[in-house]
Amino acid sequence: MTIETPYLLFLGDAHDPLAAKVAQGIRDWRPDYAVGQFRMEGCRADMKLPDMTLAEAKAAGAKTLVIGVANRGGVISPEWKKVLVTALEEGFDLASGLHNLLRDEEDLAAVARATGRKLHDVRVPSVKYPIANGEKRRGKRCLAVGTDCSVGKMYTALAMEREMHARGMKASFRATGQTGILITGGGVPLDAVIADFMAGAVEWLSPDNDPDHWDLIEGQGSLFHVSYSGVTMALIHGGQPDALILCHEPTRQHMRGLPGYGLPSLEDLRDLALQLARVGNPDCKVVGISVNTAAMSEEEAKTYLAGVEKRMGLPAVDPYRHGAARLVDALAQV
Amino acid sequence: MTIETPYLLFLGDAHDPLAAKVAQGIRDWRPDYAVGQFRMEGCRADMKLPDMTLAEAKAAGAKTLVIGVANRGGVISPEWKKVLVTALEEGFDLASGLHNLLRDEEDLAAVARATGRKLHDVRVPSVKYPIANGEKRRGKRCLAVGTDCSVGKMYTALAMEREMHARGMKASFRATGQTGILITGGGVPLDAVIADFMAGAVEWLSPDNDPDHWDLIEGQGSLFHVSYSGVTMALIHGGQPDALILCHEPTRQHMRGLPGYGLPSLEDLRDLALQLARVGNPDCKVVGISVNTAAMSEEEAKTYLAGVEKRMGLPAVDPYRHGAARLVDALAQV
């Protein structure tokens, strides 16, 4: 599944800017993909892109209408439907990461069939993945692993990719979640893959490449998060990373969604992830630490990062605050 | 999904006794479930059960015809079909672990609908499992983990269950694979569960129970097997085991299906599995070692087991050769 670019970003009637997280991700990380935005009455999100009608976007070359906003109550409203059906009629494919699938809407499915357009529901795999064979692939791979879920793994990988491209390095962000897939137009929705094929899906996602090419594989879950650790394990063993980045959010009180579970230390994460990664790649190294310091003042963040850096002997940065340059410096040494 | 017992075991035209592995498992571990066997012309397997027609089995109380034999070439032959269709007409449910699903056979599906009978395809989940919540459940749990796949984890758990029942202990084997599900009539086909729900499926499989009750959860894969390690991880974190049994096959040259991968040591397995298990259950202990010594002479096996026992300071037995009593002794101490 590859989603055809460029996109028209559908912001619908977003009730606040946060609801348009997917659109914001595309705007931030793949601005070239976004020719414009489509906003309905009452929309409170704004990507600072040209507002376009479907016809204007078509004329500007847009191929896919991407639903860049969460819907309310898991229902695709009649108002949305009108736009989506018209978009199909006008020759757009549709792409969505909504829980309720486009393909399950009878009208959208029928119009897509009649017009020959594609409905990309990125929450469900569209590929029959193989069972992992564990064979060494050419090229290099970096994986972000976290002390917990939602600590900035995707952001870290995207920030590193951008920095690497700016330096003329060969690098590809490899999406493993819905948002990442919509941002970049392809990937594996790993949490929806059948257990036996998880590691194989990651191998499929990160095939042989040039010896100096880096795949930046989007991490998921955490080895220490009992709900999702199996997915993280498959990323480590299917990904065969040469380099690991440790990701952390220092103000979190307990594992996300698990009030009874404290967070591991960065040292625990380093030791466990490295041991597991070396099963698949004995040369794997931990090269740096990415800390989400959003909840800290600039001063607190600097002090915290300096402390981690000293303690762990590895570059520790918040890529959102300070850029990913030092993480890329470390990667370039591998 | 619970398969109604007792069973009539369908051996079909098994070309050799090994093809009837599922039937043999039921015969060995749930003899009360098997009222008889149904053999077709040319069948070379024999469970030493009464040969019965469908009518005789019905009269003897059989509720489900279990396909206890692998088919050839992944096709359900016309000869099998005749028996299966007649069985549905006679009021039997059908249960199968075949790769090609009963439900995908139009004739079987139609007859099952018309007669109100059930088709149990145990390779595919029939339950919408929750996401794991990591909450502590009452009762105790034992999980077998292996240095590799197919080292005797299911056999170990079933042998322990039998020994525990003989001692009047409360114990339930909890199946996580197709063969185990067919043997015991229920369970979770974990390798076919969607990634996000693996650990939740294991929680579902092993709910609250009496404080002195043991679930013996069937292990899958290996933490060191890069193709399937994610499944093993979900068992460890969803299972919250109080006790681990380490399983090993000492003559294996490389990880099953992965020629480039050597086996870990029992010490490696102990340390890694225990560390991971303690994320979900800080009191987890490794209590014993189960070694598949089928490829060794009696003398070699005894010497090997004595060596492991001394080295590891844990009871080390081959439950097939010497019974599971010493593993259960160890469990009873937890």
Euclidean distance between CA atoms A281 and A178, whole angstroms: 27
Q: Pick A230's closest partner by Cβ from B133, B224, B231.
A: B231
Whole-number pLDDT of residue A79: 94
In degrees and rounded to multiples of 5, residue B37 shows phi and psi of -125, 150
Distances (CA, A) of A179 to A69, A175, A305, A324, B193: 11, 8, 28, 20, 23
- Taking an 8 Å cut-off on Cβ atoms, the answer to whether A227 and B132 are in contact is yes
B248-295 pLDDT per residue, tens = 999 999 999 999 999 999 999 999 999 999 999 999 999 999 999 999
Query: Which two tokens mark A107?
Result: 């009208």
Q: Is the pLDDT of residue B1 over 80?
A: no
Which chain B residue's Cα is nearest to A125?
B194
- Using a 10 angstrom Cβ sphere, with 0-12 exposed, 13-18 middle and 19 or more buried, the burial of residue B225 is buried
To test the contact with chain B by mutation, choose from A136, A233, A278 the residue with the greatest count of B C-beta atoms within 10 A, namely A233
Angstroms from B127 CA to nearest CA on chain A: 14
In degrees and rounded to multiples of 5, residue A326 shows phi and psi of -75, -30
Residues of B with CB under 8 A from a CB of A: 131-136, 190-196, 198-200, 223-224, 226-234, 237-238, 255, 257-258, 260-261, 264, 272, 275-276, 279-280
- The sign of the torsion formed by the CA atoms of A260, A263, A268, A269 equals positive
Whole-number pLDDT of residue B295: 96
What is the pLDDT averaged over residues B31-52? Answer: 96
Q: Pick B231's closest partner by Cβ from A136, A195, A279.
A: A195
Q: What is the CA radius of gyration of chain B?
A: 20
In the numeric block, the tokens 């490899």 are attached to A174
Name the CA dihedral angle for B250, B256, B259, B263, rounded to a multiple of 10 degrees: -40
Omega cis (within 30) before A6: yes
Which chain A residue's Cα is nearest to B125?
A194
In degrees and rounded to multiples of 5, residue A46 shows phi and psi of -150, 120
Predicted confidence band at A1 (pLDDT cuts at 50, 70, 90)? Answer: low
Predicted confidence band at B71 (pLDDT cuts at 50, 70, 90)? Answer: confident
Query: Which two tokens mark A228?
Result: 């999702």
- Taking an 8 Å cut-off on Cβ atoms, the answer to whether A134 and B261 are in contact is yes
Predicted confidence band at A17 (pLDDT cuts at 50, 70, 90)? Answer: confident
Q: Pick B132's closest partner by Cβ from A224, A226, A233.
A: A226
**DSSP-based three-state secondary structure for A22:** helix
To test the contact with chain A by mutation, choose from B229, B254, B263, B275 the residue with the greatest count of A C-beta atoms within 10 A, namely B229
Q: Which residues of B touch A258 (CB under 8 A)?
A: 133-134
**Mean pLDDT for all residues in chain A:** 96
Whole-number pLDDT of residue B72: 77
B284-328 pLDDT per residue, tens = 999 999 999 999 999 999 999 999 999 999 999 999 999 999 999
B72-104 pLDDT per residue, tens = 777 899 999 999 999 999 999 999 999 899 999
Query: Which two tokens mark A270?
Result: 């380093």
- Taking an 8 Å cut-off on Cβ atoms, the answer to whether B226 and A261 are in contact is no
Considering only residues A75 and A260, tell me which one the structure prediction assigns the higher pLDDT.
Answer: A260
Distances (CA, A) of A56 to A9, A63, A91, B116: 13, 12, 13, 56
Predicted confidence band at A129 (pLDDT cuts at 50, 70, 90)? Answer: very high
Euclidean distance between CA atoms A60 and A35, whole angstroms: 7
Which chain A residue's Cα is nearest to B135?
A260
Angstroms from A107 CA to nearest CA on chain B: 27
Predicted confidence band at A70 (pLDDT cuts at 50, 70, 90)? Answer: confident
Report which of B249, B290, B308 is spatially closest to residue B142, judged by C-alpha positions: B290
Q: What percent of chain A has pLDDT over 70?
A: 100
Helix (H) or strand (E) holding B233: helix B229-239
Which residues, including other chains, have CB under 8 Å from residue A108's CB and lie 6 or more apart? A81, A84, A85, A88, A94, A102, A119
Distances (CA, A) of A165 to A125, A160, A334, B222: 29, 9, 17, 38
- Taking an 8 Å cut-off on Cβ atoms, the answer to whether B135 and A272 are in contact is no
Distances (CA, A) of B311 to B248, B307, B330: 15, 6, 17
- Using a 10 angstrom Cβ sphere, with 0-12 exposed, 13-18 middle and 19 or more buried, the burial of residue B207 is exposed
Q: Which residues of A touch B273 (CB under 8 A)?
A: none
In the numeric block, the tokens 């000492």 are attached to B250
The amino acid at residue B63 is K
Report which of A235, A180, A177, A181 is spatially closest to residue A203, judged by C-alpha positions: A235
- The sign of the torsion formed by the CA atoms of B125, B128, B130, B136 equals negative
Whole-number pLDDT of residue B142: 98
Q: Which residues of B touch A233 (CB under 8 A)?
A: 223, 229-230, 232-233
- Taking an 8 Å cut-off on Cβ atoms, the answer to whether A134 and B233 are in contact is no
To test the contact with chain B by mutation, choose from A226, A228, A265, A284 the residue with the greatest count of B C-beta atoms within 10 A, namely A226
A262-302 pLDDT per residue, tens = 999 999 999 999 999 999 999 999 999 999 999 999 999 99
In degrees and rounded to multiples of 5, residue B120 shows phi and psi of -95, 105
What is the pLDDT averaged over residues A233-255? Answer: 98
- φ/ψ region of B152 (left if φ > 0, alpha if ψ in -120 to 50, else beta) reads left
- Taking an 8 Å cut-off on Cβ atoms, the answer to whether B195 and A196 are in contact is no
Which chain B residue's Cα is nearest to A279?
B224
Cβ-based contacts under 8 A for chains A and B: 126
pTM of the predicted protein model: 0.95
- Taking an 8 Å cut-off on Cβ atoms, the answer to whether B234 and A237 are in contact is no
B204-234 pLDDT per residue, tens = 999 999 999 999 999 999 999 999 999 999 9
DSSP summary character for residue B104: G
Q: What percent of chain B has pLDDT over 70?
A: 100
